[in-house]
Structure 1
Amino acid sequence: MEDGSERPKAFASRSLSKSERNYSQIDKEALGIVWGVKKFYQYLYGRLFILLTDHQPLTSIFHPEKGIPMTTAARLQRYALFLAGFQYDIKYKSTRHANADCLSRLPLVSKQETEGDTVETFIVSHMDTLPVTSKEISRETLKDPTLSKVYTTVQRGWIEGEDKCLGIFYNKRVEISIHQNCLFWGIRVIVPSALRQRVLDELHEGHVGVVKMKGLARSYVWWPGIDTDIEHVCKSCTGCQEVKHAPPAAPIHPWEWPSIPWQRIHIDFAGPFLDMMFFVAVDAHSKWPEVVPMKMTTAEKNVEVMREIFSRNGVPAQVVSDNGPQFVSEHFSNFMRCNGIKHTTSAPYHPSTNGLAERFVQSFKGAMKASKKDSGSVQKRLANFLLAYRNSKHMTTNETPAKLFIGRNLPSRLDLIKPDIRRRVDEQRWKQESKRQVPCRSFSVGEPVSIRDYCGSQKWIYGKVAEKTGPVSYKVEIAPGVFWRRHLDQLRATEVVEKPSEVNLPVKGDVTPNSPTVLLENTVSNKSRVIDNSVSSVPSTMCQESSSEVSSPSPVIEPCPTPENMLTPKRRYPRRNIVPPKKLQDFVTT
C-alpha cells in the first residue's frame, strides 16, 4: 500500500503428496514458490513482480541475474528454468512477517491425487496404443458382469423364461456362440464394455465417417448400442466436425408476392465492377429494376440515390437488404424511420434471403461483361440493358416489368417492325399534301369573294365573307340575310362588288331536274331567307344540315321536296320477283 503496509489479495494452499513429503526442506520451499507462480499464472505472466521467501539460499539459486550453480540438484534446476520465463525479483524476508494465513497450518485430511507432469502426459497421449487381441477379449469377457452371465448361459443352454433378464442377448440367443473363449454373434465378436472405447478408436483411426465406420464394424465386432456409440465418436471428434459438410439446404420459403407495384423493393450493391459500384433496386411485384452507378458507397450517398429513386417511383412500404455497413448505419435507419419504411435485413452471410436482388446482380454483371466489345460508354450499355430487360418477359410473372409497373411496354426500335395503321395513314396524308404544292389561301371577314353557285344558271355569283367556320370552310353572305356555306375550293378572290338586288336567287317552282333546291316559306313575317344550294349529286339531307348553322331566330326549313317532273333514274338491275316457297303452298299466308 502507499503507507508501506501489505494487504493480501488472494490465498491459495494445497497439501503435499506422499512423495513430496519426502523432499528436503529447500525442495519444499522451492516447490511452494513454483506452485504459487503456477497458481497465479494469469496475473503474473508478462508483469514484473517480487518473490518473497523466508529461505535465503533460494535467493541465489532463483536469482534472475545469476547463473544456476553447477552443484544444484536437478529438481531445483528445472524449477529455475521454469521461473526464467517470468520477470521477477526475489528477496529474502524473515518469518516474522506472518503473512501466511491459517490454511498453511491446517492441511486437508482427504487424500489428493498427484497431478501428473505435463510433459509426461503429452508424451503418453501421443504413444501408439496396442491393438485389442482375442486374449484380451476372452479375459475381459469373464470379468464383464453381463457378458459373463451370457457366457455361462450359452455353455449350459438357454432356459425358456428364466434368462429373459439378459434382454437383447436373449432375443439373439439362437445366433450367439462361443469360440476360443470369445462370444460371437454370427461372425462378429461381442466386445466387453472395458474394451469398447479402444475398439471405437481403432474404427475411427482413418476418420472415414459414420457410414464407413458402421460398415467396417459389421464385419468384425458388435455390442448393444454400437451404432449410437459410433455416431457419438464422430460427433465428438473435432477434426471430423471441422471438415464436415454443411447440412442440407432448408426448403425454399418464397417471399409473399405484393399486390401492387413498388410495395416492397430489394436493394443491393453490385461491384466493384467496371471501376465503380452500382446501386441496384428491384420491385418485388413487377421485377422493375433500377440501377445507379456510384463512385462512393457511403450511407449518405446511398440515401441520396434512394431519395432520387423515390421521387420518381414513390416511397415503398418495405425495403429488404443485406447487412452491409451502408444499410445498418444510423443515418440509413433514420432515413427509413422518417419515411415510414419497414427495413428488413437478411440473415448474416446468407445472400439467398435477398435472392431477388442477388439474381438481378448476376444477370446485370453477365450482360455488362458480354457487352464489353460493343461501342459506347458504360452508361450507354447500361441504358440498353435496362431497356431490353424492362421489355422482356420475366420467368416468374410471365409479363414484362414495364407492363406490370407502368401498364404498358416501353417503345423501342423493335416497334418499327410491326405494321402500324396510324403510321400508314399519316404517311398517306403526308403524300397527299406533298402532291398539292400550292400555297394555302385564306379570306378575312368582309372580304368580297366569288362563290360557286349550283342552283342558278350562273356558275359564279358574288358575295362577301361573313364568318370562318373551319380551317377551309367559310360562310358567305350573298344577299341580305341569305348565307351560303362553302369550301375554300369553292371560293375565289375578286374585286367585283355586285349589289344584292342583282343576284338571281332561285324562285319556287323554278326547279330543274338536275338541280334540286331548298324551298323556304315565309312563315314568319319580316324574317330573312336562308337558301343553301347544294350539288346535284348531293341528297336533300344537306339542306337540313345547312339549316342547323343559321343563327337564331331562323325561319322554318322544310325538307326538300322531290319535284314531280324530276327524272327517275333507270334501274341498273332488273326487279326481282319474290315467290313464296313451294312447301308453303298448302298453307294460307298473309
Structure 2
Amino acid sequence: MHASKTLTATQRKYGQIQKEALAIIFALKKFHQFLYGRKFTIVTNHRALTSMFAPNKGTPALAANRLARWALLLSQYEYEIEYRKTNKHGNADALSRLPVGPDVEFDREEDDADIDIICTIKTIGAQLNPTDPEVIVKESSKDIVISTVMRYTTEGWPHREEATPATSEIKEFRKLENSLSNKIFHFGYPHTLVTDNATTFKSEGFQQWCKERGITHLSRAPYHPATNGAAERMVQSFKQALRKSTLPSNAALLEFLMNYRRTPLETGYSPSQLLHGKQIRCKIDTIIPSPAHSAQGKQSKNTQLLNDTVNKIHSYQVGDPCYALYCGPRRSNQPRWVPALVTKVYGQRSVNVRVWPRGPTWRRHVEQLQPRFSTEEDLHLGDIFQTSDKNSDRLPIPVPPEEPVRQPKRPNPRHPLHSDYGPDNPRRSSRRRQQTQFYS
C-alpha cells in the first residue's frame, strides 16, 4: 500500500527534520483507519526523529511548536519507531520519485493547525506586558488552583483531622440514619429491626434513635446468618436471578423487583398485595387479568405451624447443661464444642451460656447448642450462680469459687541445691497470701 504527495510552497521551506516528520504525519492520517488501535512500527532514515518521537520519552521542551503538535498527535497511537539507513531504504525512496500530487485536504488541515497555534501564542504574548512584571502574579492570583497552592506554601499545608473512635462512630451513624430514613419515609416505622452485631448498630446514637421511634432492635447471634433468614434468602434469590438475566445490571434489578413483588407467596398473596393492599400490574396482565385472591387465612395457619415447630426444637431453660459452639480464633479448622450452662433465655431462639466451670459468657443461637447430660457438679448451681429470685430473668451474679491449691513447682536442675536458693531465701517474702475477697 503506497501513498504520496507533493509539498506546497510553504512546506518546501521547512527544515529537513520537519519535512521527515511531515511525511510520518501524512502517512498516519492517510491510513488512520488501519493503524488506530493496533501496534505498528515507523521506519525512518532520519535518526533525530527516533528520539523526538520515541513513545517512551516526552516531547523536548525546546522543540518547535509544529513538532510538539505532531508529537502530541502521535501519542494517540501505539507504535515503535526505528532507524534504517538510506541505502537500505530503497523501496520507499524509489516510490517517492513518483508523487501522486498535492493533497488539498491534508494541507488545509495543517495550515489551520499552524494558524491556531500562532494565534494562541500572540494572544498570550499580548497579555504579558514586558513593562509590567507583576502581571504573572496578578493572573496567578485569579486562578483557583494556583492561588490555593500559593496559600498552602506560605501558610502551611493542611493536615487531615485524625479520626477518633467517637468521630468515626458519628459518621457511620449519620450514613446509617440517612439510609434508614429513605426507607422509613416510604414504608413508615417498623415495629422490629433485626441487624448483625456491627459497632454502628450497638452505638448509643442508634439505640437512642430506635427508642425515640418505638422500634425494637434485635441483634442476631454471631456467625449465624440464619437468624435473619428472610433477608439472607432474599439475597440468594436476587443473585440467582441476576446470573440468569441477560439484561444490564440496572435493568436486571428492576425486572427482578417487579417479578418478585408480583409473585404470590404460600399464602396466596404477593408482597405488593400484603404491603399496598393491591396487586401491581405487569406485562402479563395485558393478556390474562390476575384473579382475586381469597386465601388470606393461610397466612395465620402457616405462622402458627411455624411457631409450633420452633417450640419443639427449642427446649433450653436457665441452668440446663449443654455444649456451645466455639466461635473464636481458628474456628474454621475444626468445630469445637465446649461444655456450658444456660444463664438466660432470649425469646425462642437465642440464649446466653457460660462456659463451665469459670469461663466467659457467650451469646448463642439454639442451633449452635447441643444437649449435654448433667453431672454432679452441674447440680450445685449455688457454687457458680447466686440469685435472689428463682423466677427472675436477670443474669445470675457470678460468685468466684475458692482458689485452687497450687502444686509445688518442679526444682530447676540448673540451680544448685544449697541455702542461697529456694523458699528459705531471705530475699523472698515468706508471708502467707491472703485470699481475695469479692463484694457482691
Pairwise same-fold verdict (TM > 0.5): no
More helix by share: 2
TM-score normalised per structure 1: 0.19
Which has the higher Rg, Structure 1 or Structure 2? 1
Greater RCO (CA < 8 Å, at least 6 residues apart): 2
TM-score normalised per structure 2: 0.26
